[in-house]
């Protein structure tokens, strides 16, 4: 019954809060990540969602800092990504004031940004660059809002300056929610329009079993690109991944990575100088 599953989710949320309050102050980064991954998997199981990874996940760990970019469909996206690898998310500052959830986000390393304030964007860029240089993965949703998953909205490229400044890669992910039986896209998890969080949760809990498919392509190393060019290339890769077109996604990544720091392609064709 749906109400029993809601009760299980409430108890699971309380368990997460206790873990953060009582254990996290004494745990190292690896142990924290283990708890975050396990908690996220349990949350998704309570919602009737299993996670399926496609492609070759990149190596993670110390010394592998990168910016992770993904399309954005639901509040569940965070936990799907955490099932693969706990990362530090960039989120709007309003979430910090949400009861309990805002505190949990802060405890798990979320970087908050006050959207619309250019000065705060500069601060966040500095913070993102710093933590990536320390070996952390930082995840952003460059669309800036959620969609129903049928397409990938244009990417806002401002935060792409962080990996360019740090000389670090961008790791594209493609996320799709599928009906577990038919393997067709489902709109149940989509958190869009005027839909409330409770309405979205009810839709997920009332739906048949769902598969969250998280797809990987090679990381983008675009030293000679501008942030706008990097954002457009990352969006193209993500769009192919969400559609299951992995060969096309790999082709775009190969094209981007084929550009040398000298500003030419492998064939020697000149690449226009980036306008940052």
pLDDT interval class at 155 (50, 70, 90): very high
SS3 112: strand
| 125-147 per-position pLDDT tens digit | 899 999 999 999 999 999 999 99
Q: What are phi and psi of 205, to 5 degrees?
A: -70, -25
Domain ranges of the chain: 2-219
Q: Which pLDDT score, from 0 to 100, does residue 211 have? A: 98
Instruction: Identify whether the C-beta of residue 113 lies closer than 8 Å to the C-beta of residue 121.
Output: yes
SS3 269: coil
Q: For 57, which DSSP code?
A: P
Which stretch of 1-5, 39-43, 196-200, 251-255 has the lowest confidence by average pLDDT? 1-5
Output Rg (C-alpha) for the chain, integer angstroms.
19
Alpha carbon 68 to its chain's center: 6
CATH class of 2-219: alpha beta
Q: Pull the structure tokens for residue 103.
A: 């505190």
C-alpha distances in angstroms, 76 versus 73, 211, 214?
8, 12, 12
Q: Which pLDDT score, from 0 to 100, does residue 116 have? A: 67
Q: State the DSSP H helix or E strand holding residue 125, giving kind and residue range, or none if neither.
A: helix 118-133
Instruction: Identify whether the C-beta of residue 34 lies closer than 8 Å to the C-beta of residue 121.
Output: no
The pTM (predicted TM-score) of the whole model is 0.89
Q: Which pLDDT score, from 0 to 100, does residue 38 have? A: 96
Q: Is the pLDDT score of 122 beyond 70?
A: yes
Q: Where is pLDDT greater, at 104 or 26?
A: 26
Q: Pull the structure tokens for residue 85.
A: 């690898």
């Amino acid at each position: 019954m749906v109400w029993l599953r809601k009760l299980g989710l409430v108890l699971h949320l309380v368990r997460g809060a206790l873990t953060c309050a009582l254990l996290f102050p004494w745990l190292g980064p690896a142990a924290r990540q283990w708890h975050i991954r396990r908690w996220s998997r349990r949350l998704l199981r309570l919602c009737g969602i299993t996670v399926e990874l496609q492609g070759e996940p990149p190596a993670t760990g110390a010394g592998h800092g990168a910016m992770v970019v993904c399309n954005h469909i639901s509040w569940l996206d965070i936990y799907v990504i955490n099932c693969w690898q706990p990362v530090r998310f960039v989120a709007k500052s309003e979430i910090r004031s949400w009861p309990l959830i805002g505190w949990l986000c802060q405890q798990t390393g979320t970087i908050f940004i006050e959207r619309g304030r250019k000065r705060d964007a500069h601060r966040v860029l500095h913070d993102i660059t710093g933590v990536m240089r320390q070996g952390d993965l930082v995840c952003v949703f460059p669309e800036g809002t959620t969609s129903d998953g049928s397409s990938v909205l244009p990417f806002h490229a401002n935060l792409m300056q962080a990996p360019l400044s740090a000389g670090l890669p961008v790791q594209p992910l493609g996320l799709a929610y599928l009906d577990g039986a038919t393997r067709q896209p489902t709109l149940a998890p989509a958190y869009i329009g005027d839909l409330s969080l409770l309405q979205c949760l009810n839709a997920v809990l009332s739906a048949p079993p769902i598969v969250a498919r998280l797809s990987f392509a090679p990381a983008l190393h675009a030293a000679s690109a501008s942030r706008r060019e990097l954002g457009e290339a990352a969006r193209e890769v993500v769009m192919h991944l969400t559609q299951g077109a992995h060969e096309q996604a790999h082709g775009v990544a190969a094209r981007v990575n084929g550009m040398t720091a000298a500003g030419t392609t492998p064939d020697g064709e000149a690449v226009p100088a980036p306008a940052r």
